Chains A and B, each alone.
Chain A
Amino acid sequence: MTDPEGAGAIRRILVALDASPDSLAALEAAAELASRLDAELAGLFVEDVRLVQAAALSLARAVNVPSATEREFDVEAIERELRVQAARIRRELSAIGERLQVRWTLRVARGQVAAEVIGAARDADLLLMGRGGRPRVRDARLGSVARSAATEATAPVLLLRAGTRITAPVLVGYDGSPGSRRALVLAAALARAESGGLTVLVGGVNGESARRLEEDAVARIGGAGVQTRFRRVPPGDGRLLREAVIREGAGVLVLGGRRDETELQDLARWLAELDQPVLILGSGLTY
């Protein structure tokens, strides 16, 4: 979607599912959001083609986690496991769709996971997925798929960790850049959907520019009927950002601006300590 003015309109929500606890949290959040915004919920399960390829190799080995036992690893076994996983995802999706009265679809694709997700995100207004990381290992870092999606997807990406959901207030950084403008509009839409407040972190270089940014932001949010507060935070500092999130009691953090892999990685380290969902507008977006 390349309509900056209508960027707030979310009609199709894509959720990437792999049956991990993080992705199920994403599903729950996506379904709630879809229900509130009356949007369509599109589920996507990507079977990792590399798994099937690896299973075809007689020398490939697999280990259960965390029991550390070696297991049978051939094409038939992996196909069966993937089927089971897909069935489980369908069950979860169906149950939640029924419960929240949401239109939903599920697509099962096979291929490179990141590529498939990024591809599917082209048709979506918002992509939700689990934060990822290694299975059953407490991992501070973002998973590789989440990382790729956050930097390359053409839709905003909302990353969730198991046990969390989207709540108000919404915290958004604003520095006047096109990316942050888009983020501001999206954050306002989210805040409206959650019927909660919006906190804007203004990253001006001095008092004067900050005030200008605030005026600018008010104009952009317009009479959207969202209660807005401003906080001044120097831009580009992950640690200060984290503190602001904790201080403000933010329910979700929206980050705009073009972000490349290293910048994101650096940010992620700070964000890892936060449990709150993070909505990232990556460099894949066009404005």
Chain B
Amino acid sequence: MFLRLRAHAPSGSEVTRMPTVKPLDPALLCRRCDPDILPFQTTEEIEDLDRIVGQARAVDAVRFGIEMRHGGYNIFALGHPGTGRHALVRQFLEEEAVTMPPPPDWCYVNDFAQPHKPRALSLLPGRGIALRRDMERLVEDLRTAIPGAFETEEYRARKHVIEEEFKERQEKDFGAVEQEAKAQGIAMLRTPVGLAFAPLQDGEILPPDKFEELPEAERKRLEEKVGALKERLQQSLHQMPRMEREAREKVKALNREVTTFAVGHLIEELKRDYADLPEVVRYLEEVQQDVVENSDEFRRPEETPTLMGIPLPAMKPSFARYQVNLLVDHSASKGAPVIDGEYPTYQNLLGRIEHLAQMGALTTDFTLIKAGLLHRANGGYLLLDAQRVLSQPFAWEGLKQALRSGNVQIESLAQALSLVSTVSLEPEPIPLDLKVVLVGPAWIYYLLCQLDPDFNELFKVAADFDDQIPRDGETGTLYLRMIATVARKEKLRPLDRAAAARVIERSARLAGDGEKLSARIQSITDLLRETDHWAGRAGRKVATAEDVQKAIDAQVHRSDRLRERMQEEIRRGTILIDTKGSKTGQVNALSVIDLGQFAFGRPSRITARTRLGTGDVVDIEREVELGGPIHSKGVLILSSYLGGRYATDRPLSLQASLVFEQSYSGVEGDSASCAELYALLSALSETPIRQSLAVTGSVNQHGEVQAIGGVNEKIEGFFDLCQAGGLTGEQGVLMPASNVKHLMLRQEVVDAAAAGRFQIYAVETIDQGIELLTGVPAGERDVAGQFPEGTINQRVEARMIDLSEKRMRYGGAGKPEGEA
């Protein structure tokens, strides 16, 4: 736990001396909202609010961002969560979107020349779905038309002619060789793997001995004849593949002709329908060509092939390549899309390509391309949560890349990083025309501005949402309307006047400022829901101030375990805090512990001790690194104040040490610097301080008390402690006067103050404070420059002089000039 002592900037007001400071008027302790001036009985009577309260700057920025149609004018809505950023932006976008025409449909179709690069087609809204249906119907039609065309008698007859022609040519070729052999008395024999030639004699193969008997010339003549026949046969065999190929080509040409006839009129019809879209016409022409080239697939019977009895998937002809992958369909859209990117991963943003496992391998095609948020929002608006985008790997880079290039290119992450080598696609990029609205906290905005050079180029419009809005008449009325609207929208019971007033007061308290209201609508909505719950428990039809109070108390009770524990330990004396009596060099300071949803004040004891030294004020917290830099700064200001106020013509010759007693987890902030100074002054003047008072406030070098944060929690923290031990009427808190406007104290505290049992003092200077704490006048220098005898300041100065003289006596290095 880190105690944070919140500080505000110095007020800069002039120091005005008041002899004594009176307790604050109880009316100033909490700026009430008077139910009686509210112009309604219950919130049911108030009309709905159709816009957000306050936030004029953010509203203007969003409107401007929407109107700027140039690239780079994307919007970053920054502010605290719960301030209605998302709702406001969404409302504006939706209002704008309905006035815009729906953007075109986008389809991916096969590129028959390059199947790995699917082509993107843009069509008027509604025509995408029509094209998809038309292509489905075309394939259906082709599957009957093409086999039909091949079953005609004409086709069969023409094919037969081609085959016969081939056979005849073959026959003629072979027949000629055989005839020739026969004529020359040579036998053509079939061997197991081919043909052989041997001379005949009387119808029998010439026996070898008879052959040997032949004269040399005759033998040679026979050999030549056989050789020549063999060559003829070889030649004729060489012709065979060519002839076969020719026949095949002829059949193919015939098939093409028949298919073209069957397909032509079907595709012509489609081309007429899409004549106004040259891209689609070109695609249809390619489809026609592909169908003609692959007419066999339409004729093949559909049977599932098997491998050892196991059916093999998808080996049958697939007509998927004629499908239309309708990526974005605006057939039912009324205006431009407004898409809420709930889960902006890289793939969800930019789209993805899915794969199918086939026989252990991953395959894909253009039908497996899925649209991303950018596709769906194209032509309109995309709302994204900045934190989510940034926490998804590569999502931010992908988004920027798309916005910078003005295109969205679908590419899997693994592909982009070359991690896998599955079959993949490079779909044609789709041009982007959309506005992206990022919603996020301010720190992300500032970090991106600082660290990402692309960010300022791409998100030129910052819509800065405030977490407070002024609490004046106009916004007050709007705020009430907002409360009424929320109650109605959430189907909650209406609130009566007093309840609405309590909600307003609570809102001011949440803002930590009596003159402001909280813009964290989420917190108010929660309060209203909880109020409704308690009103329901009490069986009321209309929620009352009591229900609101019950909701607030329950909220506090749910989260104040730690506070109660702390208070208990103080009461039991484990943590030493006095609320009565007087002590020298010891003061009660107040710190705030912020648990996020809940903050509370915690009293701490600060002690100071002084002795002869060389002018150091030792901050023990800092020595052990439990104190933050702001705290250290406050302590250094103290020594400067001491040196500048007292015994200015002598070297500062004291050593003082300051400590936050029983603090084990670090101290930051300078809101305790007043208290530390009081402890020091008490120690130096040896004047006891009233322990029934607690102090908050920071101090500057001139002794002016400056504003701090969390004033309400701090005061209530000390009040609770005192109340637990019984209020004595002596007890109270010293707070900076510049914090009075922030007071929104609990009713209990206000009541105690009104009854004079608890005092709250608004202090402007250290002198005022020390007088209250010690009951001894602070004292002002007279004409001779001396403080009146017996005053605090006089005692302090006397002590300082004493210390410096002692120091001179010891002969330290710090002798005053002129006495050396």
Contact = CB atoms under 8 A, between A and B. Distances in A.
B240 A63 contact: no
Interface stretch (B115-123, B202-210, B482-490): B202-210
B613 to A, nearest CB: 114
Interface in B299-334: none
A72 to B, nearest CB: 11
Nearest to B211: A57
B595 interface: no
Interface residues of A, number: 34
Interface stretch (B43-51, B190-198, B444-452, B788-796): B190-198
Contacts of B191: 51, 62, 73, 78, 81
Given A48-B190, A70-B230, A82-B192, A61 B197 contact: yes
Interface stretch (B132-140, B220-228, B661-669): B220-228
B170 interface: yes
Contacts of A78: 191
A152 B533 CA distance: 112
Contact of B237 (A53, A54, A57, A63): A63
A63 B194 contact: yes
Interface residues of B, number: 35
A35 interface: no
Interface in A1-34: 19
A264 B193 CA distance: 29
B728 interface: no
A206 interface: no
A50 B187 contact: yes
A60 B196 contact: yes
B167 interface: yes
Do most interface residues of chain B lie in helix, strand or loop, or is the interface mixed?
Answer: helix
A263 B241 CA distance: 34
Interface string A65-85: 111101101000010011011
Contact of B238 (A68, A134, A139): A68
Interface string A200-230: 0000000000000000000000000000000
Contact of A59 (B190, B207, B222, B240): B222
Contact of B197 (A60, A67, A84, A138): A60
A64 B198 contact: no
B193 A59 contact: no
B194 to A, nearest CB: 4
B171 A50 contact: no
Interface centre among B189, B222, B241 (most CB of A within 10 A): B189
Contacts of A71: 193-194
Interface centre among B167, B170, B191, B233 (most CB of A within 10 A): B191
Interface in B226-254: 226-227, 229-230, 233-234, 237-238, 240-241
Interface string A43-58: 0000010110111111
B167 A138 contact: yes
Contacts of A54: 187, 189, 196-198, 205
B748 to A, nearest CB: 104
Contacts of B233: 63, 68
A236 interface: no
Given A19-B192, A50-B189, A51-B189, A57 B198 contact: yes
Contact of B205 (A57, A68, A139): A57
B804 to A, nearest CB: 122
Contacts of A64: 193-194
Given A50-B187, A54-B187, A68-B234, A59 B174 contact: no
B22 interface: no
Contacts of B238: 68
B199 interface: yes
A61 B227 contact: yes
Interface centre among A62, A67, A135 (most CB of B within 10 A): A62
Given A48-B189, A70-B230, A63 B195 contact: yes
16 contacts: A19-B192, A50-B204, A50-B205, A54-B189, A54-B196, A57-B205, A59-B198, A61-B196, A67-B237, A70-B230, A71-B193, A73-B191, A78-B191, A81-B191, A135-B195, A139-B171
Query: Which 5 residue pairs are nearest across A and B when measured between Cβ atoms?
Result: A54-B198, A68-B237, A53-B205, A62-B196, A60-B198
Interface of B: 167, 170-171, 174, 187, 189-199, 204-208, 211, 219, 222-223, 226-227, 229-230, 233-234, 237-238, 240-241
Interface of A: 19, 48, 50-51, 53-68, 70-71, 73, 78, 81-82, 84-85, 134-135, 137-140
